[in-house]
Structure 1
């Protein structure tokens, strides 16, 4: 939900992920793929690979990558990334099984709490629909994260990035509404957010898929949102005379997610060719997201109890 502590931190994560792909430039790799492609392709691939749209050449790349990595580990040599990814063992055609599993876990948290929010939040609470939309955007983001980590293609990559961007931007929208008690957002506020997202996706889709720009945009939005929640949380224990003892949950969640992202600074070859820093980041956000939803539930109860006139809306009368 919340992304980033500093631009430098995230930039370092991004740069390490982007430029550490020397493996696919090695002559031994290129020669292996070329030989495999000439001697084994075309070929009928196993059903799981066919269902996930693996080509014979891509299968050659995978097999060559694993063979070279085997030899590197055997001789204590450096393990390289290939096409921006570590040499993971695939399972049933899935490229990054651990990241897929943890993405599903994150998606389940949003799904689980969507139904809890729908049941427990009063219908006249001004943020109920906003909360439900947030949970839906969360499910959408992690569904496409699952798909992307299962099979990295140009399309699945864009869908993953665009869905994550939508969740980040909407998180800021929600933060502004909650922290400044905006019951009915003015048209221009909604227009600003919709336009920003439309321009963002349009630029990346029609002009240039710029990784640096995409990361910068996410960091800027994430930092604004992070600052808002951290400031509000600290205020509850310092100057606010109507303190919320549960505010620490918001602080843990937003700062925890930001810190979890720093795991990518520790980028390392995957343990057992399964677990890497990126997958551990996805694992750590599962409990942090659950803490966030628990905070939302407690916060709603508190607001309805002590600020009901401020946070309730008039429900339409059924005809």
Structure 2
């Protein structure tokens, strides 16, 4: 979890928190009896509820004094909706996850099962799983949901490298994709074990993801450039990988949430929704092309 921030270290917040806990958290059964169902389902405790209420009291006090909106425990203040901690990020994460369900369109348009067909289906499965965990994490930030969000996101980054490898070098003979897969699984295990058991280093995790992600982007751009004359649809691939990485700049311009709902991270998630649809449009076009090439070789 994040270290303390200026807001939760302030005297206003600490005094409010002590008073709230003393008044409301001495009889836990009464608290849970009065707690709204949505908040009970998300397992909000009495001390956490006090922290939420005191957060807004502190924000009001800071704004009255003409001070900037503070962060609390490394996060901006968000208005909860039905107990959901960051509602905008949850909605956009779910929409990103649904984009991966477009893989079923591939089944309709490419009836023949090429090896690459199954590779793309693997991407859809990993991507859907990663975005669902992102939605869970933004609904309720706990150590477990945060770890799962980071680990699943890293698995998606690595699987994108796997798809690039398979598309460039092919899936035959079988030892090629298997070797690449074993190496990437080893990288995943090493990285996640370090974060889980040695040091959950946010900076290190970001550097690793950015480095591998950048390599993936350069690889797809080079591949698209080499195939553009015969496969005009590759522009979809280039636009997707370039714009996704350009949107990461939103994360650098961190700011207090607009209307206490839309922060830089949620807007990054919003921007990637349409790109998910474009990416699967590229996958469908590329699969149709590969199938036609295979038909020509057989005839």
Provide the TM-score with structure 1 as the length reference.
0.85
**What secondary structure is seen at the aligned counterpart in 2 of 1:250?**
helix
Higher mean alpha-carbon deviation, 290-299 vs 26-35, is at 26-35
Residue 216 of structure 2 is aligned to residue 225 of structure 1: yes
Spell out the pairing of 1:292-311 with structure 2 (5 A cutoff). 292-306=279-293, 308=295
The question of whether the paired residues in 2 share the 8 Å contact of 1:118 and 1:132 is answered with no
How many residue pairs get aligned? The number is 289
Aligned equivalent of 1:288: 275
Q: Which has the higher helix share?
A: 2
Spell out the pairing of 1:98-247 with structure 2 (5 A cutoff). 98-111=88-101, 113-183=102-172, 184-186=174-176, 187-237=178-228, 242-247=229-234
Distance (Å, rounded) in 2 between the aligned partners of 1:116 and 1:308: 21
Distance 1:19 1:233, change over 3 A: farther
Aligned equivalent of 1:46: 36
Spell out the pairing of 1:78-97 with structure 2 (5 A cutoff). 78-97=68-87
Shift of 1:185: 4.2
Structure 2 residue ranges without an equivalent (≥5): none
Distance (Å, rounded) in 1 between the aligned partners of 2:245 and 2:120: 21
Distance (Å, rounded) in 2 between the aligned partners of 1:66 and 1:200: 37
Distance (Å, rounded) in 1 between the aligned partners of 2:84 and 2:201: 26
Higher mean alpha-carbon deviation, 70-79 vs 163-172, is at 70-79
The question of whether the paired residues in 1 share the 8 Å contact of 2:87 and 2:139 is answered with yes
Q: 1 or 2 for the larger relative contact order (CA 8 Å, sep ≥6)?
A: 1
Shift of 1:272: 0.6
Distance (Å, rounded) in 2 between the aligned partners of 1:20 and 1:286: 32
RMSD across aligned C-alpha pairs, in angstroms? 2.0
1:69 aligned residue (59, 73, 86): 59
The question of whether the paired residues in 1 share the 8 Å contact of 2:69 and 2:256 is answered with yes
Shift of 1:201: 1.7
The question of whether the paired residues in 2 share the 8 Å contact of 1:73 and 1:79 is answered with yes
The question of whether the paired residues in 2 share the 8 Å contact of 1:114 and 1:136 is answered with no
The question of whether the paired residues in 1 share the 8 Å contact of 2:116 and 2:171 is answered with no
**What secondary structure is seen at the aligned counterpart in 2 of 1:127?**
helix
Distance (Å, rounded) in 1 between the aligned partners of 2:271 and 2:4: 24
**What secondary structure is seen at the aligned counterpart in 2 of 1:246?**
helix
Distance 1:288 1:185, change over 3 A: farther
Distance (Å, rounded) in 2 between the aligned partners of 1:271 and 1:87: 10
Shift of 1:75: 4.4
Stretches of 4+ moved more than 4 A in 1?
A: 307-310
Distance (Å, rounded) in 2 between the aligned partners of 1:219 and 1:37: 42
